[in-house]
Structure 1
Amino acid sequence: MPQIEQISEFLTSQVFWLLVFFGLTFVVVGLGMVPKILGTVEMRDGQIAGDLAAAQAARDAANSDEDAWRSRENANRAAAQGVIGEAKAKAAAANAAKLAEVQARLDARLAEAEAGIAAARNSAMAEIEGVAAEAARDIVARVAGADVEPAAAQAAVKEVMAHG
């Protein structure tokens, strides 16, 4: 077969050119392109690492800012609670003072009213004693036909009222 006989003639030249072509490809790709690609990959890795470090630094700064804000907010909240407590205490003191003033006025009015009632009772008792003494004199005059002195009738009515 003639095709098989030709293989030996052309095989060595084809293998030679195959090795030359792959050798040139290796030199161009392996020595020219691969270092550039590796440099680009290393640069990207460095840039990514730098970006991650910057992001971590930004996160740390944000966390410290948030912590500072929270502490200021807590201090402001505590100050507001203090102001509210102070206002409540002032209001309670003002209310207590007003209540004490009103209670003092009410006590004074009550004392005046009790004094008025006592005076009215004493006046009424005096009038009752006078009326009772007059009635006793009239009853004695009608029943016994005797005339009783007004002072004696008054003394008798006082004695009866004191025991009764």
Structure 2
Amino acid sequence: MATHFILVAIAIMALASTLATASDPSQLQDFCVAVKDSKSAVFVNGKFCNDPKLATANDFFYSGLLTPQNTSNPVGSTVTPVNVMQIPGLNTLGISLARIDFAPYGLNPPHTHPRGTEILVVLEGTLYVGFVTSNPDNRFFTKVLYPGDVFVFPEGLIHFGLIRKD
């Protein structure tokens, strides 16, 4: 009888595992506008959330990506981030944005984003990009991009960008 119970339990667990899926849970609310005020009741992603009824369009707005940045530094590039610090409404949405200005032959050094995929759009110049896979064979993907081209760096993979010419 005990053997029969064990076999039934194993069969149920096997069936349950084939039906199970893993993913990030759905958000509990539409957004969580980050505020520094600790009087707010909800603490999410390391930030306090403003009462959603107090949110305004400005909580989801940033103006400043149009201005080119100074690239006279050792790597010849400057990143202008747009994340929850610039747009409080990005908190908990799992997305950010950046502008990267390159000097001729400038470099965006190899780096990763462990929790997000990066998508890149070239507006001017020529950019050499690449990433390395982790499984199964550590492949190296590279491409030369031109204005209007788009490239995706999958989540967590080491990637880079290098200006080939101005």
Please indicate the TM-score interval, normalised by the length of the shorter structure.
Answer: under 0.3
Q: Higher relative contact order by CA 8 Å / sep ≥ 6: 1 or 2?
A: 2
TM-score normalised over the length of structure 1: 0.19
The structure with more helix, counted as a fraction of residues = 1
The structure with more strand, counted as a fraction of residues = 2
TM-score normalised over the length of structure 2: 0.19
